[in-house]
Amino acid sequence: MENKTHLVDEITGHRRMRRNRKADWTRRMVQENRLTVDDLIWPIFLIPGTGILEPIPAMPGVNRMTVDKAVEAAKEAADLGIPALATFPNIEMELRDETGSNSLEKNNLINLASAAIKKAVPNIGVITDVALDPFTSHGHDGILRGNEIVNDETVEQVALAAVYQADAGADIIAPSEMMDGRIGAIRQALDAAGHQSVGIMSYATKFSSAFYGPYREAISTGGLLKGDKKTYYIDPANGTEAVRDATLDVEEGADMLMVKPGLPYLDICWRLKEAFGLPTFAYQVSGEYAMIKAAAANGWIDGERVMLETLLAFKRAGCDGILTYFAMDVARHLARK
């Protein structure tokens, strides 16, 4: 035994990685990354009406909720220490049209929710998206003219919608429609309207992904979509193009950057953080959430451990925070610890 030990020491040069893993206290002491409640942003889905929690079949444990229920949820999230919510509306079909004109209604569903949440829970952040897909009859993120999503006309509309969202109490505008020039236009519009303190979290690298399916069910756009979104979302094969896209957003005034989806694009998270040093976020999207929930429901994985491991992976990849439908579950888990 002594000879074998001596031989191992010669081979390893007396370096033994397991020394720092020998006990719980040493593992905790040398842990490089930690997940805290401060890392969590909770996306929620809104529906019209009052007193309604409506389950989303493709996203077990996630509900669409009316504004009054969203306020209750915001209070609970704030009590758990979650810093911010991200709101997404599912409006009535009769309000959707070719141009997404309801996005410009000052008292539309998303703005009513922002006002109500900020009034009741002023210490929680509200992040809103100005993409048009929840408002269009065709399910695209911009204005459809013929067979083309028109860039500049869409940018004009989302910039105006951003001002209305800021008026209603949004703290951060997070434009996800991926039109060219949108960040600069939104920044200019917000500043002109006196909203210099409202931030912009750019969906800097939103990929043309197959992971969005349950989200489209949640906002009822899946059956509406004509064609696909490949003319404005980024090809999943293109990492360098994604960095170039983010560079333009930084130059136009983005305060924060987001990568969407999350786990398949950890390399992009790392590259953006290294390149720009800005606060960088990942969106663990609906498909990622649904896969974990489905596998856990079938007993194939330990759902809680996988949930925590995936979120920690975002931290290791350089993210400052994560938009995740697991936010409340994680916050409760951390509170128990």
Q: Which of 229, 260, 273, 315 is catalytic?
A: 260
Selection from 20, 89, 84 nearest residue 48 by Cα:
89
Asked if 38 and 81 count as a contact pair (C-beta separation under 8 A), the reply is yes
All structural domains of the chain, each given as residue ranges with its CATH number in brackets, are 1-31 (no CATH), 32-336 (3.20.20.70)
Q: Is 206 a known active-site residue?
A: yes
Bridge partners, residue 46, by sequence: 65, 89
In angstroms, what CA-CA distances link 233 with 173, 236, 324? 19, 9, 21
The number of angstroms, rounded, from the C-alpha of 126 to the middle of its chain's C-alpha atoms is 12
Reading the chain (337 residues) residue by residue, the pLDDT tens digits are 556 666 666 666 678 888 899 999 999 998 999 999 999 999 999 999 999 999 999 999 999 999 999 999 999 999 999 999 999 999 999 999 999 999 999 999 999 999 999 999 999 999 999 999 999 999 999 999 998 999 999 999 999 999 999 999 999 999 999 999 999 999 999 999 999 999 999 999 999 999 999 999 999 998 898 889 999 999 999 999 999 999 999 999 999 999 999 999 999 999 999 999 999 999 999 999 999 999 999 999 999 999 999 999 999 999 999 999 999 999 999 999 7
Say how far apart CA 293 and CA 248 lie, in whole Å: 36
Residue with tokens 């703005």: 111
What's 228's DSSP letter? -
pLDDT of residue 12: 63
Rg (CA), the chain: 22
What is the pLDDT, as a whole number, of residue 4? 65
Task: Note if 226 is an active site residue.
Answer: no
Cα distance between residue 276 and residue 150, in whole Å:
29
Annotated catalytic residue: which of 69, 206, 229, 273? 206
Greatest Cα pair distance in the chain: 81
pLDDT for 15: 82
Peptide bond just before 261 cis, omega within 30 deg:
yes
